Every structure is written in structure tokens, then in C-alpha cells.
Amino acid sequence: MKKIFIVVILILFGADFVWGLNTKMTGKLAEQGDVCSEEQKMIFRQSIPSIAKQFIGVPYKLGGNPTQTGTSDNSHLFFTIYKLAAQKAGIFYKEYLPMKYFSHKLREVDENDLKNGDLMVLKDDHAAMIYQVENTGKIHLVYASGKRQQVLSFNSDNVVFNVYWLENLKGFFRLSDIMLAPAD
């Protein structure tokens, strides 16, 4: 019985040791996962305003894909904008994710460090994409509105921005670099 106990302890210790190495390696890979050049990231962000503007006014439909059906929901809208911007930058946007899973691929950013493509997320996880940040700090946002049944644009000077979006703000979030990869 003592031998079995000792063997189990050694196996668990060995598993913990291997798991610990794997965790450290995963962290190193995440740090090295920044495989897109700064120029590609710049082109990606600079491409977002013109791409986002194309979809303003597109009818809302849950599950709609703007490039295939001419309709959109928020998840498909963001996916399409990121995908097209990535193509312009010569990189690849990895995958479509519904909003409830997409949040795991984002990292929070300070409101004073906003960039094109960042998301403004509310406490109920509703989100709008910041498609343009002006030098003055004014931001322009786009989202697919189920209530208004279309893709809408608004800016930080809009009354709704202050009385609804800022009042219900969860935070500002940026797409994680692991979602972008070199084009094959």
C-alpha cells in the first residue's frame, strides 16, 4: 500500500512538473505570438474606417453576413470588418466568434489609448466598434442595432454616447494579437 501511495505521489508530482513547464511555454509562445509586423498592424487599423463605413445602413438580421446576405448582426459585422482590414494588411484574421466567445480574445485598454478597431463594451456585453479615432479624441463607432434593425454609426459627441453608452460602460477592449496571423 505504501508503494502505491509513493508511486501515485511521484506521478502527481511529475504531472505537475510537466504541466508547469507547459504553462510557462504557453506564456512564452503567447509573448512570441506577435508575428505580424508593426507596419501590417498599422495598415490593418488604417483600413478599418473605410471598410466600416461601407456597412452603415445595412439591414440587421441575426446570423446575417454582410458580404453574403447583405444583412448583419454585431458578431458578423465585426468579423467582416476585421477580416477585410486584415486582407488589406496582408495578414489573416483567424476566426468568426459569436460575441459571447469573442470577449475571451480581447484585452482591456485604457480610454486614452483607443485605436481604430477597438471595441466599446457595455455591462450587458453589447458592443460597438470604434472605427475611427480623431486627433481631437472624438471617436466614431459602428454597431448592428437589433432595435433599429440596421447597422448604425454614432460618435462621442452624440447625446446617446454620454447618457447610454458611458453610463453602461464595462470597458474598452482591443483585439488580441493572437487573432491575427501572417497570410499563407
pLDDT of residue 24: 37
Helix segments in the chain, DSSP class H: 2-32, 38-54, 74-88, 99-102, 159-160
Where b means 16+ CB within 10 Å and e means fewer, 80-98 reads bbbbbbbeebebbbeeeee
Q: What is the pTM of this model?
A: 0.79
Q: Do 151 and 81 meet the contact criterion of CB atoms below 8 Å apart? A: no
pLDDT of residue 97: 84
Q: Do 91 and 182 meet the contact criterion of CB atoms below 8 Å apart? A: yes
Is residue 137 over pLDDT 60? yes
Is residue 31 over pLDDT 50? no
Half-sphere exposure of 150 (CA within 13 A, CB side): 10
More confident site: 94 or 119: 119
pLDDT of residue 98: 83
Is residue 28 over pLDDT 50? no
